[in-house]
Amino acid sequence: DARVTQTPRHKVTEMGQEVTMRCQPILGHNTVFWYRQTMMQGLELLAYFRNRAPLDDSGMPKDRFSAEMPDATLATLKIQPSEPRDSAVYFCASGLPGPNTGELFFGEGSRLTVL
C-alpha cells in the first residue's frame, strides 16, 4: 500500500529552536510538494520539486525556511529559527510526472507547535 510518510507527526518546540520535518514520497513519484495548513490561511504552497530540483519556493520565508531533496526517497523542510507564527500543520504530497496533470497523494502531516 503506497503512501507518503511524514515524520514527526507532532512536534512541540520553543521559539528559536531548529525544526526539521521529513517526507518519504511514493516510490516513482518525481514531483514533491510542501504545503502548510492553518485555520486562517488554509493550504499554502511552500515549495515543490521535480526530479529533486526545486522549481518554486516563493511561498517560503527564505530567511528561516529551507527545503531540500537529498535523494529521491527523502524531502526535508527545515525552519531555523522557529517562531510561534510557524505553528501549523505541514503536509508533504507527491505526484506523478507533470505537476498539474494528476492527483496528489498527501502524507498525514506534521503538526508543529512553537511556544
Judged by CB under 8 A, the stretch of 19-27, 62-70, 71-79, 107-115 that binds other proteins is 107-115
Number of residues counted as binding other proteins (CB under 8 A): 22
Cβ-based nearer residue to other proteins, 65 or 91: 91
DSSP characters for the chain?
----EEE-SEEEE-TT--EEEEEEPPTT--EEEEEEEETTTEEEEEEEEETTEEEE-TTS-TTTEEEEEEETTEEEEEESS--GGG-EEEEEEEESSSTTSS-EEE---EEEEE-
Cβ-based nearer residue to other proteins, 82 or 94: 94
Question: Scanning the structure block, which residue is given the C-alpha cell 501549523?
Answer: 88
58: contact with other proteins by CB under 8 A = no
Judged by CB under 8 A, the stretch of 14-22, 43-51, 71-79, 80-88 that binds other proteins is 43-51
* From 35, 79, 86, 88, residue interacting with other proteins (rule: CB under 8 A): 35
User: Closest distance between other proteins and the C-beta of residue 56, in Å?
Assistant: 7
Grid cell for residue 93: 504530497
Cβ-based nearer residue to other proteins, 59 or 81: 59
